[in-house]
Chains A and B, each alone.
Chain A
Amino acid sequence: MNEERKTILEMLAEGKINTEEAERLLSALSKETETGSDVTKIKSGYKYLRVVVEPGPESENSERVNIRVPLKLIRAGLKLASFIPKDAQVKVNEALHEKGIDTDFSKIKPEDLEDLLGQLNDLTVDVEGKEKIKVFCE
């Protein structure tokens, strides 16, 4: 039995909280534990980010893209990006903005990346039957 669960039960025994409140606290605690174990699985299980682009059934060109990027490299790259001087970051952001990418990569932290990858898991985008884009971790 972990410490938090024990404290809740002690509070219930002492009459500080009623049974409903104790139930609510225990369910919230179990949800938190489940989420925590998912994050651990993401951190330990996956090594690579894969991007696969395949021609769809209505596609005219037969271009195929298969990219595998080590997650360690992405993390290291993000960390390196945070060391770029601010004036250079502004120039990079402006160049990205011109290309239609409104993202400030210096603001993405390694923790955010873990969350992002956790949500990403197995994303498939079908571009009007022309191309099938799959982004997933393995």
Chain B
Amino acid sequence: MIPLLLRIRIGRKSHRGVSLWLPLFLFWLIALPFLIALLPLVLIAALILWPSGKGKPILCAYLMIFRLIGCLSGLKIDIRSVDNTIYINLI
């Protein structure tokens, strides 16, 4: 499932930082038409480069982008030191 929310917190020693909840589904609404619009260009590039053997990797890589986006949900990075705090969670 694609991540719908992004929780992010970046803080410094003096300031712990504010936890932000970003609605990723709004970003996907913009990015998805863009990615689909890119498809004809990818197909043309793949067809041109097919004889050189680079066409198939281009086409597969394009499809893999969708798979990668779908696998991002559940990714969590939490790093805390005395000076900094970085927290990223894709829900």
Binding site for B on A (CB under 8 A): 47-48, 61-70, 72-73, 75-77, 79-80, 83-85
Contacts and interface: CB of A to CB of B under 8 A. Distances in A.
B16 to A, nearest CB: 15
Contacts, number: 59
9 contacts: A66-B78, A67-B78, A68-B76, A70-B72, A72-B71, A76-B68, A76-B71, A77-B68, A83-B57
- Summarize B's interface: helix, strand, loop or mixed: mixed
Interface of B: 54, 57, 60-61, 64, 67-68, 70-82
Nearest to B80: A64
A69 B70 CA distance: 13
Contacts of B54: 85
A63 B57 contact: no
